[in-house]
Amino acid sequence: MTNKPKNISPRRQVLRQGLRDGVPIGMGYFAVAFSLGIAARRAGLTAFQGFLTSALINASAGEYAGFKFIEENAAYLAAAVMTLVANARYFLMSCALSQKIDPDTPLRHRVLLGFYITDEFFGITISRKDFDPFYTYGAVMFAAPCWAVGTALGIIAGNLLPAFLVSALSVALYGMFLAIIIPPSRQNKIVGLFVLIGFALSFAASRLPFLANVSDGTKTIVLTLVISAAAAALFPLKEVPDDEA
Amino acid sequence: MKHNVYIYILIMALVTFAIRVLPLTLIRKKIKNRFLRSLLYYIPYVTLAVMTFPAIMDATRSPIAGAAALVLGIVLAWFGAGLFKVSAACCILVLILEFFLVK
């Protein structure tokens, strides 16, 4: 790290560091959001609706699940439950962060930090010793607009791009999911085992004829809760590792 | 009846906001219940696994290309490639494979 210039306040300095670290995050977000936009287009959303969803929700899996429900014209309650399940990990991260930040952190910073909890922002926030919200805000200032604009452009360009490109780009989202679940599966064999069980049962549920009339979203909720509950009952945690929460 | 997209967005936004912000503003102590802690720990991985497969095979024009992208993504992520690299490699593999597989 270079020496801090004297004329810049520490807060601006921290913000600038965050902004710098937000650039690679934003580039990744843009590509994945574009892929998400293709899913949103399938669900019939306009570019503005996609932008709004991404600006308000900032969650790949949660938004993807929501778009599937919109596509299926599901009940509002089902969409609410699915959002709860798909975004449950942010609840954990928020709990973890509540243990780490300065106890005197004012409410407005708690709300703003919470609003922007994603895998990446959470990751870089806890990577610093001081958990300074302004560092996170710097990254958010660059990366969050990438996410929202990427979604809108995915919806617009999904109509313009040739089918072979849409097909290729649509897997970016799943690539991101894999990048989230595979490293912990390598570290923790039990997580890996239940990821495999998730793959297997999800495949079975999609092919079994007597489940043909059950929507994909409902299957996701039921499978997630049943498999996770089995994992929690059979292999309860001794101590939650904060950094992986 | 076709539901309103804006109401869906509003519901999703409110639920997500509550999940993210309530613990950070209200909880000042560790969650004690062991089953609940364990459940919350496993849910993210399981739900992403369930959503990834077999959906990745239905997202591409050729299911074989989707399956190949799944395998490549798992291998790359296993050996430590980041989010951006894994996603990009999966896209490129589908692009190349479908050049041969889809007429």
Helices (H), B1-103: 5-26, 34-52, 55-59, 63-78, 83-101
Contacts of A49 in chain B (CB under 8 A): 5-6, 9
Residue in A110, A186, A236 nearest the CB of B34: A236
Distance CA A153, CA A198 (A): 32
Which residues in chain B show pLDDT less than 50?
Answer: none
Question: The tokens of A140 are what?
Answer: 């958010």
CA angle A98, A59, A117 (to 5 degrees): 20
Instruction: Decide if B54 touches A, using CB distance below 8 A.
Output: yes
Distance CA B100, CA A19 (A): 42
The residue ranges of every structural domain in chain B are 5-101
What is the reported pLDDT for B83?
Answer: 75
Distance CA A183, CA A161 (A): 33
Select from A174, A187, A201, A203 the residue whose CB has the most chain B CBs within 10 Å, as the one to mutate to test that interface.
A174
Contacts of A173 in chain B (CB under 8 A): 87
| Number of neighbouring beta carbons within 10 Å of residue B32 | 7
What is the reported pLDDT for A221?
Answer: 79
Best CA proximity match to A156, nearest among A63, A27, A50, A26: A50
Q: Are B38 and A235 spatial neighbours (Cβ–Cβ below 8 Å)?
A: yes
Question: Can you tell me the ipTM of this complex?
Answer: 0.88
The residues, ordered by sequence, that sit 6+ positions from B23 with a Cβ below 8 Å of its Cβ are A91, A94, A95, A97, A98, A114
Residue in B6, B16, B22 nearest the CB of A87: B16
Q: CB A70 to CB B78 under 8 A?
A: no
* Per-residue pLDDT of chain A in tens (245 residues, 90 and over written 9): 445 444 567 888 889 988 887 877 787 788 788 888 988 998 899 999 999 999 999 988 889 888 988 888 888 998 899 888 888 878 877 877 787 788 888 999 999 999 998 877 877 787 677 788 999 999 999 999 999 999 999 999 877 778 888 788 888 878 888 988 899 999 999 999 999 999 999 999 999 988 887 777 678 878 988 999 999 999 998 864 554 44
Distance CA A152, CA B99 (A): 27
Which chain A residues in 140-199 lie under 8 Å from chain B, judged by CB atoms?
Answer: 163-165, 167-186, 191, 194-199
Best CA proximity match to A59, nearest among A112, A117, A136, A111: A117
Judging by beta carbons within 10 Å of its beta carbon (0-12, 13-18, 19+), is residue B27 exposed, middle or buried?
middle
Whether the link from the prior residue into B63 is cis, omega within 30° of 0, is: no
Q: What are the two backbone dihedrals, phi and then psi, of residue A44, each rounded to the nearest 5 degrees?
A: 90, 15
Cα distance from B103 to chain A (closest Cα, Å)?
11
Instruction: Decide if B19 touches A, using CB distance below 8 A.
Output: yes
Cα distance from A136 to chain B (closest Cα, Å)?
15
Question: The tokens of A40 are what?
Answer: 């949103």
Distance CA A235, CA B64 (A): 35
Contacts of B71 in chain A (CB under 8 A): none
Q: Are A78 and B13 spatial neighbours (Cβ–Cβ below 8 Å)?
A: no
| Number of neighbouring beta carbons within 10 Å of residue A138 | 23
Placement of tokens 């299957």 in the chain: A219
What is the reported pLDDT for A4?
Answer: 46
pTM score, two decimals? 0.74
What is the reported pLDDT for A101?
Answer: 81
Q: What is the 3-state secondary structure (H, E, C) of chain A?
A: CCCCCCCCCHHHHHHHHHHHHHHHHHHHHHHHHHHHHHHHHHCCCCHHHHHHHHHHHCCHHHHHHHHHHHHCCCCHHHHHHHHHHHCHHHHHHHHHHHHHCCCCCCHHHHHHHHHCCCHHHHHHHHCCCCCCHHHHHHHHHHHHHHHHHHHHHHHHHHHHCCHHHHHHHCCHHHHHHHHHHHHHHHHCHHHHHHHHHHHHHHHHHHHCHHHCCCCHHHHHHHHHHHHHHHHHHHCCCCCCCHHHC
Instruction: Decide if B64 touches A, using CB distance below 8 A.
Output: no
The residue ranges of every structural domain in chain A are 10-244
Q: Are A58 and A147 spatial neighbours (Cβ–Cβ below 8 Å)?
A: yes
Instruction: Decide if B71 touches A, using CB distance below 8 A.
Output: no
